[in-house]
Chain A
Amino acid sequence: MTASVEFRALRRTFGQTVALDGFDLIVAPGEFVALLGPSGCGKTTALRCVAGFERPDSGAVLVDGRDVTNVPANKRDAGMVFQSYSLFPNLNARDNVAFGLRVRKVPVATRRKKADELLELVGLPSHADRYPHQLSGGQQQRVALARALALEPRVLLLDEPLSALDAKVRVTLREEIRRLQLDLGITTIFVTHDQEEALSIADRVAVLRDGRLEQAGAPADVYDRPATPFVAEFVGTMNHLTGQVSGNQVTVLGQLLPVDGPVPADPSVDVLVRPEAVQVVQNSDGPAEVLAASFRGASVRLRLAVAGGEVLADVPGHEAARLGPGTRVAVRLVERPVLVAARTVTVPSPVVAADAV
């Protein structure tokens, strides 16, 4: 039932805009891959190339090794769930789910049964007779998911299906999508701009930038070992601190830490440190000072003034109670290998622009 999907040097331009610029990626059978990137990075275009709604200018899309680039959308074997609500307003939930089966002239009794099974699968067994306008956003997306699965496609395409839903529904539904995907073992490509969403449900996260693949890897790899500064900043938050490389170690904020990955030729580097790797201890003689604290539920993000700049640090909520603005503190980095990049800043300051969640 499942198939591999291969993007081979896909290129697609819309006038002056280059949506895809030589995009390569192989999705293994049964794998759940999240395409992650800022808006305009080409992730949706890539997905639409698999669905057949977009034809690449050059390159190819292969499903199970077969080139489907020129196959019309209605002859492809990929179910899709859209970002906007896409249920047919004139049909009730059951008929929506059964639409694909009706196109294939499946007998009424069979398609009714199948539709009811699928509605049960997505947790809406009692909503079969409701029309889309009688369903909530989350319920509509569940029905859309059931509809996409009705033809038992070999590939499931999800184009930001959760972005129109509120936070709580988003989390439960994404977990259900993952559970379903694991049960069915269906190859799934999930487009999102929400890094937390991508990291939490995908087997592999593919980060796109300007129509190219920046990095593809397991969520933990992408988060802990970003291949490029772009990935580091887009996925999670990253402090850029000035450091001096000596051998395969680097001096940063007065600490000597081992370097992870290649070392640039220039010894003056940016050291990339996650806010949760910055430890803060109250110390009235400390060299740093708390500038601001923002409460984030389980943790508190502190903005600290250190020698020559600022650093973001995440500390557990209960510790942060004593660390109000103005408190003098000492800062320590967790002892583990750190990533370094060629110097882009002159003073140690955090990149706040990429501060997502």
Chain B
Amino acid sequence: MAALTGLERVSGAPPRRTRAWWRGAVFLLAAAYFLIPLGTSFWYTIYTPTAGVSFAAYGELLTAEGFAASLSLSLGLAVATIVLVLLLALPAMLAVRLFAPRLRVVMEVLCTLPLVVPPITFVAGIGTALRDGTDLLAPTPFWATMIAVQDPGFPVVLVLAYVVLVLPFVYRSLDAGLRTMDVRTLVEAARNLGASWPYVLARVVVPNLRTALASASFLTLALVLGEYTVASLLGYQPFAVWIVTVSGSKGQLSVAVSILSLLLIWLLLLAVSTIFSKEKGK
């Protein structure tokens, strides 16, 4: 018995040590890749050759003009986008799966299309549509709607644009989630037990799609908080645009904001993931 164990150890140990060595190296390399830029950025925000180490940039941040407004605008846009894209995509994907399986290919192509359209083209299109649309609709009651969606306080037009931009990611997440369950049988079982369609959606489909819904929400959140092109070219000032604006005048402040926003997004994602996993455990 002892001899056996000894033999196993002799043959097992060297590869394990080699693997451990490689693992450590890869880990260190990856850590360096992420942490060195972060660290130097952080150092840049707190150190100036003249004043030495100070956290003034972070103090200034909270009172800086536009910080709170742009951040809350971005978060609001993110929430609105998540709600709207899920309300649109989930029922549509379910309906296609249950009633028109042959349309699945069409839907997949439609949903992945935004990936191949460059945002710059996309925003040029939106800009033209908004300008011409406002002119065209001027004599009709829809003119007020056109104006309302462009309200700088909460530009609905950005939500609509973001819904299109995140559609490929949301589609992929939900599709993966729906693949893991036998949607048709579960829906039919619930219908058979007297459940109405909204009840089926809320009590059967959504609870079993938690992971997929969470990942769709993550991706949307991350994408909306970091989106610059569309918002900037349409002339709105959510968080990402504000950072760029500020960086022109106050270098230290803009980097401090970047670090803070990184932390913030990370905390948000952590919060979303714990909420979803907690509910799953329940």
Tell me the A residues contacting B by CB distance below 8 Å.
51-53, 72-76, 78-80, 82, 84-90, 99-100, 103-104, 144, 147-148, 150-151
Q: 26 pairs across A/B with beta carbons < 8 Å? A: A51-B188, A53-B188, A53-B191, A72-B191, A73-B192, A74-B192, A74-B194, A74-B195, A74-B196, A75-B194, A76-B192, A80-B189, A80-B192, A82-B185, A84-B182, A85-B185, A86-B188, A87-B189, A88-B190, A99-B190, A99-B195, A100-B193, A103-B193, A103-B194, A144-B189, A151-B193
CA distance A84 to B187 in the complex (A): 13
Residues of B within 8 A of A144 (CB): 189
Which of B195, B199, B280 has most A Cβ within 10 Å? B195
Shortest Cβ-Cβ A-B pairs, 10 listed:
A100-B193, A73-B191, A86-B189, A90-B207, A86-B185, A103-B194, A80-B192, A74-B191, A103-B195, A74-B194
Which of B182, B194, B195, B207 has most A Cβ within 10 Å? B194
Residues of B within 8 A of A82 (CB): 185, 188-189
Which of A80, A85, A86, A87 has most B Cβ within 10 Å? A86
Known: A90-B207, A90-B280, A103-B195. 4 other contacts (CB 8 A): A75-B194, A82-B188, A84-B182, A90-B208
Q: Which residue of B lies closest to A102 (CB)?
A: B203
Complex partner residue of B188 from A73, A79, A90, A151, CB under 8 angstroms = A73
Residues of B within 8 A of A104 (CB): 194
CA distance A253 to B204 in the complex (A): 63
Q: Are A88 and B188 in contact (CB under 8 A)?
A: no
- Total of A-B residue pairs, C-beta within 8 Å: 64
Given contacts A53-B188, A73-B188, A82-B188, contact A89 B181 (CB under 8 A): yes
Query: Separation in Å of the B195 CB from the closest CB of chain A?
Result: 5
Q: Are B192 and A79 in contact (CB under 8 A)?
A: yes
Q: Determine whether B186 belongs to the interface, using a CB cutoff of 8 Å to chain A.
A: yes
CA distance A100 to B189 in the complex (A): 10
Taking chain B's interface residues, is the majority helix, strand, or loop, or is none over half, making it mixed?
helix
Query: Separation in Å of the B24 CB from the closest CB of chain A?
Result: 37
CA distance A38 to B248 in the complex (A): 76
Count of chain B residues near A, Cβ 8 A: 18
Tell me the B residues contacting A by CB distance below 8 Å.
181-182, 185-186, 188-196, 199, 204, 207-208, 280
Query: Separation in Å of the B63 CB from the closest CB of chain A?
Result: 47
Residues of A within 8 A of B186 (CB): 86, 88
Which of B182, B191, B193 has most A Cβ within 10 Å? B193
Residues of A within 8 A of B193 (CB): 74, 79, 99-100, 103, 147, 150-151
Residues of A within 8 A of B196 (CB): 74
Residues of A within 8 A of B188 (CB): 51, 53, 73, 80, 82, 86
Query: Separation in Å of the A16 CB from the closest CB of chain B?
Result: 14
Q: Are B191 and A151 in contact (CB under 8 A)?
A: no
CA distance A195 to B195 in the complex (A): 34
Q: Which residue of A lies closest to B209 (CB)?
A: A90
Residues of B within 8 A of A147 (CB): 189, 193
Q: Are A100 and B194 in contact (CB under 8 A)?
A: yes
Q: Are A88 and B192 in contact (CB under 8 A)?
A: no
CA distance A80 to B185 in the complex (A): 11
Q: Which residue of A lies closest to B282 (CB)?
A: A90
Query: Separation in Å of the B232 CB from the closest CB of chain A?
Result: 42
CA distance A74 to B200 in the complex (A): 10
Q: Which residue of A lies closest to B210 (CB)?
A: A90
Query: Separation in Å of the A86 CB from the closest CB of chain B?
Result: 4
Q: Which residue of A lies closest to B188 (CB)?
A: A53
Query: Separation in Å of the B188 CB from the closest CB of chain A?
Result: 6
Which of B191, B192, B207, B208 has most A Cβ within 10 Å? B192
Residues of A within 8 A of B280 (CB): 90
Residues of B within 8 A of A52 (CB): 191
Query: Separation in Å of the A33 CB from the closest CB of chain B?
Result: 19
CA distance A266 to B200 in the complex (A): 61
Given contacts A90-B207, A90-B208, contact A84 B185 (CB under 8 A): yes
Query: Separation in Å of the A35 CB from the closest CB of chain B?
Result: 18
CA distance A88 to B204 in the complex (A): 7
Residues of A within 8 A of B191 (CB): 52-53, 72-74
CA distance A195 to B186 in the complex (A): 28
Q: Which residue of A lies closest to B185 (CB)?
A: A86
Residues of B within 8 A of A73 (CB): 188, 191-192
Residues of B within 8 A of A80 (CB): 188-189, 192
Query: Separation in Å of the B194 CB from the closest CB of chain A?
Result: 5
CA distance A51 to B191 in the complex (A): 9
Query: Separation in Å of the A356 CB from the closest CB of chain B?
Result: 27
